[in-house]
Structure 1
Amino acid sequence: MTSPCSPQFAPVGDVGTALMMIDSRLKSIHDTEGTSDPEQQALLEQFTASMGPEEADDVLDGACTLIYMFMMWLRQAHEEHDKDVVEYVVPNLVATMRMMPKSIRPEAIPTMAGLVIAAGTGLSPTLWRKQYGEWTDVEMNPLEATAFLLAEHINRIAGDKDFATRMIAEALSVSDEA
């Protein structure tokens, strides 16, 4: 039976912009000099400030698509070792978010955990979240952090600091060719 939260019913959104934002964060973390590029950060902030409501919604949907794609990769990787992705990814994600109280308010953590569980069980994070109303301002940083933390987790598993970004970029280029 098909769920109304199945990915086939979900908008894909602006995955490219969401990926650019996550990639920028990943690069700033792995900067060998220990400093993020202030010019790049200013450009990213200027870009996001120039978005209208419709573009912002597209980026939100794109971030949810990234979370879904990351969880599908993690699910496959865990199943190859007879492990449950939810059991191994969600507690780690929640523990990390709890250590980030300046960026992630505690009341947003259950929503992000639910979003990741939905994605890990094959549901669209976008449609799962929409059941509970519109996105709130409090959820914006946690949503970005969720996508970032999943990408970083994938990169650690793969032993390649650019693996998650490259994986999505390759999937996007294949879908563009089709």
Structure 2
Amino acid sequence: MSSPCDPEHAPVGDVGAALMMVDSRLKAIYDDKTRTDTEQQALTEQAVASMGPGGVDDLLDGVCTLIYMFMQWLRRAHEDHDRDVIEYVVPSLVASMGMMRKSVRPEAIPTMAGLVIAAGTGLSPSLWRMQYGDWTGDEMNALEATALLLAEHINRITDDRDFAARLIANALSSVDQ
């Protein structure tokens, strides 16, 4: 049965820019650079401001595509061990976001949990979210945190700090070919 939230109907967005944003955040965390969250946020805001309105929408769709791809990979990895991806990924994601009080507003966490559940069940996160209206400002940091936490989760279970970025880069290069 087809759903209006099927990924085939979803815009892919700027996956490259979304991946660059997530990967640079991960590298800053892993390398424990002296750059502060405030400096990183200013750089992100500057990059987003230079994109214009269409570029921001493409970036949002790109982040949702990353979340979808990460959740599909996680779903297959968990199914190989007879585990439910929702049961094993969502609670730790929600708990982690709950600890990020300076970056993630509590009211955005249920939306991000729903977004991840939608992706984990094969629905497009961007189309699922679109049902509820426009993105809010409070959801921007939460969306970035969701993609970051999923990428870090993949890197942790593969014991490879670059696995999630390589996973997406390989998928992008196979599409180009």
Give the AA of the match of 1:3.
S
- Mapped to 2, the partners of 1:113 and 1:135 lie a distance apart of 15
Residue of structure 1 equivalent to 2:130: 130
Paired with 1:101 and 1:43, the residues of 2 have a C-alpha distance of 21
Aligned partner of 2:34 in structure 1 is: 35
Say how many residue pairs are matched: 175
Q: Is the 8 A contact 1:5 1:123 kept in 2?
A: yes
CA distance in 1, matches of 2:53, 2:45: 16
Matches within 5 A, 1:29-178: 29-31=29-31, 34-36=33-35, 41=40, 44-177=44-177
Cα deviation code 1:76-108 (max 9, x no counterpart): 000000000000000000000000111111100
Cα distance in structure 2, aligned partners of 1:122 and 1:48:
28
1:51 is displaced (CA, Å) by: 1.5
Q: CA RMSD in A?
A: 1.6
Contact 1:6/1:124 (<8 A) preserved: yes
Partner in structure 2 of residue 14 of structure 1: 14
**In structure 1, distance between residues paired with 2:117 and 2:127:** 13
Deviations 1:48-78 (A, max 9, x none): 2212111000000000000000000000000
Q: 1 CA distance for matches of 2:5 and 2:136? A: 20
Work out the CA distance in 1 between the residues paired with 2:36 and 2:87.
36
Ranges in structure 1 where 5+ consecutive residues have no aligned partner? none
Structure 1 distance, partners of 2:153, 2:124, is 20
Shift of 1:45: 4.2
Residue type of the alignment partner of 2:119: A
Distance change (3 Å), C-alpha of 1:133 and 1:45: closer
**TM-superposed deviation, 1:43:** 5.3
Distance 1:57 1:110, change over 3 A: same
Q: SS in structure 2 opposite 1:161?
A: coil
TM-score for both structures, normalised by structure 1: 0.94
Shift of 1:46: 2.9
Q: Do structure 1's residue 26 and structure 2's residue 23 form an aligned pair?
A: no
1:2 matched residue in structure 2: 2
CA contact (8 A) 1:67 1:125 kept: yes
> Which amino acid in the other structure matches residue 136 of structure 2?
T
Contact in 2 for aligned 1:28/1:37 (Cα 8 Å): no
User: Secondary structure, in 3 states, of the residue corresponding to 1:61?
Assistant: helix
Gaps of 5+ in 2: none
Q: Give 1:47 deviation, angstroms.
A: 2.1
Query: Is contact 1:29–1:36 with CA below 8 Å preserved after alignment?
Result: no
The share of aligned pairs that are identical, in percent, is 73
Query: Could you tell me which amino acid in structure 2 is paired with residue 35 of structure 1?
Result: T
Cα offset for 1:35?
A: 2.2
Distance change (3 Å), C-alpha of 1:51 and 1:90: same
Q: Distance in 2 between matches of 1:159 and 1:51?
A: 34
